[in-house]
Amino acid sequence: MPRMDEKVETIYHDVVSRNPGETEFHQATREVLESLGPVLVKHPEFTGHKIIERICEPERQIIFRVPWRDDKGEVQINRGFRVEFNSALGPYKGGLRFHPSVYLGIVKFLGFEQIFKNALTGLPIGGGKGGSDFDPKGKSNDDIMSFCQSFMNELYRHIGQYTDVPAGDIGVGGREIGFMFGQYKRITNRWESGVLTGKGLDWGGSLVRTEATGYGAVFFVEEMLKARKDTFEGKICSVSGSGNVAIYTIEKIHQLGGKVVTCSDSNGYIYDEKGIDLQLMQQLKEVERRRIKDYVQYRKHAKYVAKGNIWEVPCQVAMPSATQNEINGSDAAKLVKNGCIAVGEGANMPTTPEGVKIFLEAQIAYGPGKAANAGGVATSALEMQQNAQRDSWTFEHTEKRLQEIMKNIHELCYETAIEYGTPGNYVNGANIAGFIRVAKAMVALGVV
């Protein structure tokens, strides 16, 4: 572990003891706090205003019961969360995750990361996150709708276009946003498009939002490669996951001349040496909602490896796009040994601290999630802009805006890393640049 500044270390220990058992939240705060020692030296006013202490304490945490009736008539109970972490720069903004592993520690790590990610976009959005331990896998459409409606029966009183604007994350896509928007509209009698993002294109959504996280992550890696006078052309790439982020990461890499040879789900991974057939993937995942093991029924030369380790596959660029802590120290070492020169995190916190250390020591181009995957939330903010204008932009215009935003985030992280004496370290660059933006706003807004 890198050494932490002494003052900051005290704050970190306080965070751990005030939030027992929330290991992912501890991991996310530790990683950010490790970067902040030199910032306090340059900005002593942040210490006096207790900015770090305040930033680590969510403004509001909501936990609620979600009772619903399944399609067999049985009553089910889940737990719902919304953590409204920081609103210094704008309304709370961040996704909702539906996955059985969701508990307060996961929602808080995601909400904490979201504060800095959103700040890096330069757009007026604060940080928040929510979700439920509901497992959408294998559920009928009716079950999904019942759950989403019950979830919104409580959530609606906490959100709004000027207050808190949720979107999707794992297990929450266009279908779920539709059911939740419908219920919000019914309860409030308001067609308030700015209350949720990731909406359908026919009812207030933005072109490119579906593609944005994956595309943005690839744009970020493209910038990192450019800084090393390199490109995606001809690169063998490994992508994990097979959901929203993975699919559009694969699409953009292929557009830029790279070849993606893997994808995965929680049961196993696909190796396709000819390059993943994206149309087939989209049919299986987006249209038919099937598992990726079915891919090899249609691509006979491809291999499905059940329970295997995807990071064993040699690649030059790795883009983890599934979930937190999916690359550990030994995976990172394997990637580096096999010739990986760039890692762009589509997922949130997919690399363990041991893995991060290995990437940084190897001096490969390592783009941490809060910078690399900011394109999703940035395009959500563009959706809010269009909603406020009662307008909708073209695909080309919106994608161009996204690309500019990713370029700016890259430059900001790159320059900040240099300014703070750690050139090439995008972890420090992202943590410091994101933190400073929020901290300055918090100082200006007073003790609130």
Catalytic residue annotation: 129
Does residue 197 belong to the site contacting ligand 2IT (CB under 6 A)? yes
Q: Where along the sequence are the contacts to ligand NDP (CB under 6 A)? A: 99, 168-171, 173, 213, 241-246, 265-267, 321-323, 346-348, 373, 376
Q: What CA–CA distance (Å, rounded) separates 97 from 100?
A: 10
Closest by CA to 216, choosing from 431, 367, 423, is: 367
Residue among 98 and 366 whose Cβ is closer to ligand 2IT: 98
Residue among 153 and 244 whose Cβ is closer to ligand NDP: 244
Largest Cα separation within the chain, whole Å, is: 64
DSSP symbol at 293: G
Q: What CA–CA distance (Å, rounded) separates 40 from 187?
A: 46
- Residue written as token pair 């932490």: 4
Tokens for 115?
Answer: 């504060």
Residue among 188 and 325 whose Cβ is closer to ligand NDP: 325
Residue among 11 and 128 whose Cβ is closer to ligand NDP: 128
CB 79 within 8 A of CB 132: yes
Site size toward ligand 2IT (CB under 6 A) is 12
Select the residue whose beta carbon is closest to ligand NDP and give its number.
243
CB 175 within 8 A of CB 191: no
Which partner, ligand 2IT, ligand NDP, none, binds residue 221 by CB below 5 to 8 Å per kind?
none
Cβ at position 397, least distance to ligand NDP in Å: 20
Residue among 244 and 428 whose Cβ is closer to ligand NDP: 244
Which partner, ligand NDP, ligand 2IT, none, binds residue 127 by CB below 5 to 8 Å per kind?
none
For residue 12, give Cα distances in angstroms to 26, 28, 29, 195.
8, 11, 7, 34
Quick check: helix, strand or coil at residue 321? coil
Residue type, 107: V
Does residue 206 belong to the site contacting ligand 2IT (CB under 6 A)? no
Which partner, ligand 2IT, ligand NDP, none, binds residue 94 by CB below 5 to 8 Å per kind?
ligand 2IT
N residues, the chain: 448
Does residue 167 belong to the site contacting ligand 2IT (CB under 6 A)? yes
Which partner, ligand 2IT, ligand NDP, none, binds residue 332 by CB below 5 to 8 Å per kind?
none
Tokens for 185?
Answer: 């509209």
Which partner, ligand NDP, ligand 2IT, none, binds residue 431 by CB below 5 to 8 Å per kind?
none
Residue among 352 and 380 whose Cβ is closer to ligand 2IT: 380
> Which residues from 343-362 bind ligand 2IT, rule CB under 6 A?
348
Site string for ligand 2IT, 311-350 (x = CB under 6 A): -------------------------------------x--
Of the candidates 120, 123, 208, 377, which one interacts with ligand 2IT according to CB under 6 A? 377
Does residue 169 belong to the site contacting ligand 2IT (CB under 6 A)? yes
> Which residues from 79-138 bind ligand 2IT, rule CB under 6 A?
93-95, 114, 117
Which partner, ligand 2IT, ligand NDP, none, binds residue 321 by CB below 5 to 8 Å per kind?
ligand NDP
Strands 75-86 and 127-132: antiparallel
Residue among 19 and 348 whose Cβ is closer to ligand 2IT: 348
What region does 22 belong to: left with phi over 0, alpha with psi -120 to 50, or beta? beta
According to the 3-state scheme, what is the secondary structure of 171-229? CECHHHHHHHHHHHHHHHCCCCHHHCCCCCHHHCCCCCHHHHHHHHHHHHHHHHHHHCC
Residue type, 67: P
**Near ligand 2IT by CB under 6 A, which window of 47-55, 226-234, 291-299, 375-383?**
375-383
Cβ at position 169, least distance to ligand 2IT in Å: 4
Residue type, 372: A
CB 355 within 8 A of CB 329: yes
Which partner, ligand NDP, ligand 2IT, none, binds residue 171 by CB below 5 to 8 Å per kind?
ligand NDP
Closest by CA to 358, choosing from 338, 375, 377, 379, is: 338
- Residue written as token pair 């459409």: 141
Cβ at position 240, least distance to ligand NDP in Å: 7
Cβ-proximal residues to 250 (8 Å cutoff; 6+ apart), any chain: 214, 239, 260, 263, 276, 278, 281
Cβ at position 35, least distance to ligand NDP in Å: 20
Q: What are the residues binding ligand 2IT (CB under 6 A)? A: 93-95, 114, 117, 167, 169, 197, 348, 376-377, 380
